[in-house]
Each structure stands twice: as structure tokens, then as C-alpha cells.
A and B are shown apart, each in its own frame.
Chain A
Amino acid sequence: MSEKIRDQISAFIDGELPVRECDLLLRRMRRDSELSLTFDRFGLIGDAIRDSLSGLPQGLLRNRVMQAVQGERQFADRAGTWRRRGRMLQPAAGVAVAASVAVVAVLSLRTGDPALQDAAVAASTEPFAYTYTVPEPSYSPPVTAPPTRLTNYLVNHSQYTNTLGRKSMQMRILVDQSETDEQPERE
């Protein structure tokens, strides 16, 4: 391990290493465990000067953590697995489309149905594409109870209320009924 690299580690610990040198240093540290140990000892010196040593055996926590981390799946692997699966599924999807076209073609030849033959030709010549038809907007008015039924309900219900409440409810029914009578019928 050269003095220059140790000097870089020292500057890196202090956040003073030029950006362009950091990448190479980190790659070197990844390959050479001796460099990581130097990083560790230089950090330990700082902790000792600041009187912030933990009092636990050196390297014990680090070893345990990194053993546990090694058992974890890598984030890049997770993303890569999905990408690989996607790539593997692409030819499979192509095969599935080709097989469906072939089935339609065989069936149409057997039955002699020109509509099926046209469908098979169209499917084999046109590029495969997902299509989605936007449904026609439709409006249906909400179903309402007939006024007579509502009136009957309210009249029956008013038998259990006091006189004042009954009067006011009956008044409302009369008003509602007169309003519906005045409105012209739709369509």
C-alpha cells in the first residue's frame, strides 16, 4: 500500500479529497481490505482524540454488521432481477402472440369461415398493439321513488309524531306535490 493512497484516505476521512480522486480511492478500498483497516485506524485515532471511543472491542460491531449485510440481497440485484425477468418475458410474449395467430389460422382453414381467415391475415400482418376503446358516455337519471309512495310513507310515519310535526310534514308534502305538478315532464 503506497503512502500516496494512505494520504488520500486521510484526506477522504476529513472530506478534503478532491471529487475526482474519491471514486478511484473507493474502488481501491473495495478491493484491498488493508486500505479499509487504515481507514478504520485513522478514524479510531480521531475518536480517541475526541474521547469518543465506545469501549467495545475494536471491529466487533463492524464484523457483525457486515456479516448480516452480506446476507441481505443487494438493491441493484433486486432491480436487475426485474429487468432480467422483463427481458426474458419479451420473447415469451412474442411466442404467445405467434401461437395465437397460428391457432386462428388453422381453425379458419378447417372451418372455411372467411371472417376467421380475415382475422388471421390481419393478425399476422398488422403489428401487435394493445387497443382500448373509450366507452361512450351514457347518462341515466337516478331512479327516484314515485311521489305517491313517498307521500304514503310520510303520512304513515307522521302517525308516530306530534301534531305540529305532522302538520309541517303534511305541508311539505303538499308543497312538493304542487311543485312536481307545475314542472313540465321531461321528454
Chain B
Amino acid sequence: MKGLARVGNRANDQMLVDRVQQGDKSAFDLLVLKYQHKIIKLIMRYVRDPTEALDVAQEAFLKAYRAIPSFRGDSAFYTWLYRIAINTAKNHLVAARRRPLEYDLDIQDPEQYDMQARLKHTDTPEGLVLTEEIKATVNKAIDLLPEDLRTAIILRELEGMSYEEIAQTMECPVGTVRSRIFRAREAIDKRLRPLLE
């Protein structure tokens, strides 16, 4: 049944893109929320200064918003956004008459970047404390989760498994997987919220 079909991550983004193209700015807000950290981290590989990186990230998102009417979904939205962010960062450096910090990144391959980003973690002094607090809070909350919830959220967030794959791994129905992941997020969110308020 078509109505019960899961949309998938790429189709999810495309759905949001379609809405932006129809004039729904709040859909773009969700795309920003979804990719803000990835884009900031990506740009900070080129622009170390956090204030500059923030400016460049803002410019990249704004460029993406302006160009979104021409986005046809030939590639994944994040791949498209990734290229815009890279080009914006490079243009920023050229304008500032500075050389890029990184040359070894394959700008066509977001996955390759993600791998390298994990190896070369960069933090800024301003956000370091909060970032560490968030990570500590989330890790502590995960440790306190019942095992079935912990396994479900880890398989989803770290391994990137679909609900179907997790259901097969954990030998339970897909609905149970969905419920476990949600309950895990709720439990972590309960501990995280005071930190962010």
C-alpha cells in the first residue's frame, strides 16, 4: 500500500525541498536544523575562525535557498548542499586571499569527508564546553537506557540501519523498533533539555 510506504531519508529531504519550492519556508528551517552541524563542521575544515565559519555557513544555506527552485533531485539534497558549502568556503578563502587549509578532501564525496571529519575532530573554544557537556549528557543517558532501547538507538544512529534491518537484527517487529528508538530519544531528550534551555 502506497500510504504505508516509508519515505526514506533521501525522499524525506526531497519532500521538504518540494515544500520549499512551493514557498514553505518552514520546510527549509527543518533542512537547516537537520544539516547545520554537518555543514558547520565541513566549513570549519576550511575556515578555522568560528565567526567566519558561521558567516560562510549562513551564506551557503542562503545560496542553497536561492538555488532551490532549480534543484531537481538528481543527487541527494545533502550532496548538493555539501557542494554549495564547499564552494562558498573556497570562494570565501579566495576573497580573503588565503589558501584553503585542506587539499586532501574529495569534494565530490560527502561520505569520505565524514570519515576524515571523525579522524580530525575540530572544536572551537566557544562551543567546546557546551559540546562536551552535550556529549557527556547523551552518553550518560545512553548508558542508563534499558538494553533493548540502547541497542535500537545505537544501530540506528551509529550504524545507520533502517528499521527493517534493526528489526531483523533484534528479532522483533518493525513497530517495536520504531517505539524503542522513540523511547530512547525521549529518555535522552529529558536529560538534554535542561542543558539547552
User: Which of A's residues lie within 8 Å of B, judged by CB?
Assistant: 6-7, 10-20, 22, 26, 29-30, 36, 38-58, 60-62, 64-66, 68-70, 72, 74-77
| Contact of B54 with A61 in the complex, beta carbons under 8 Å | yes
| Contact of B2 with A19 in the complex, beta carbons under 8 Å | yes
Which residue of the partner chain A has the closest CB to B41?
A54
Which residue of the partner chain B has the closest CB to A14?
B156
| Distance (whole angstroms) from the CB of A116 to the closest CB of chain B | 51
Number of A-B contacts defined by CB within 8 Å: 199
| Contact of A48 with B134 in the complex, beta carbons under 8 Å | yes
Q: With A16-B6, A72-B66, A74-B25 in contact, is A55–B131 under 8 Å at CB?
A: yes
| Contact of B3 with A19 in the complex, beta carbons under 8 Å | yes
- Chain B interface, number of residues (Cβ within 8 angstroms): 81
Q: With A18-B4, A62-B33 in contact, is A55–B189 under 8 Å at CB?
A: no
Q: Is B126 close to A, CB under 8 A?
A: yes
Question: B56-64, B88-96, B102-110: which one contacts chain A?
Answer: B56-64
Which residue of the partner chain A has the closest CB to B38?
A52
Q: Is B34 close to A, CB under 8 A?
A: yes
Is chain A's interface secondary structure helix, strand, loop, or mixed overall?
helix
Q: Is B153 close to A, CB under 8 A?
A: yes
- Chosen A-B contacts, 20 in total, with CB atoms closer than 8 Å, are A7-B178, A13-B34, A15-B6, A18-B3, A19-B5, A22-B12, A41-B193, A45-B192, A48-B134, A48-B138, A48-B139, A49-B138, A51-B121, A52-B118, A53-B131, A56-B54, A64-B54, A65-B36, A65-B62, A75-B20
| Contact of A16 with B185 in the complex, beta carbons under 8 Å | no
User: Which of B's residues lie within 8 Å of A, judged by CB?
Assistant: 2-12, 15-16, 19-30, 32-34, 36-41, 44, 50, 53-54, 57-58, 61-62, 65-66, 68-69, 114, 117-118, 121-124, 126-128, 130-131, 134-135, 138-139, 142, 153-154, 156-158, 162-163, 178-179, 181-182, 185-186, 188-189, 192-193, 196
| Distance (whole angstroms) from the CB of B18 to the closest CB of chain A | 10
| Contact of A62 with B36 in the complex, beta carbons under 8 Å | yes
A42 contacts which of B22, B54, B117, B185 (Cβ < 8 Å)?
Answer: B185
**Roughly how many angstroms separate A57 CA and B134 CA in the complex, as a whole number?**
11
B23 contacts which of A16, A17, A64, A75 (Cβ < 8 Å)?
Answer: A75
The CB with the most chain A CB atoms within 10 A, among B9, B54, B123, is that of B54
| Contact of A46 with B6 in the complex, beta carbons under 8 Å | no
Q: With A6-B182, A40-B33 in contact, is A15–B9 under 8 Å at CB?
A: yes
Q: With A56-B124, A56-B126, A72-B66 in contact, is A61–B32 under 8 Å at CB?
A: yes
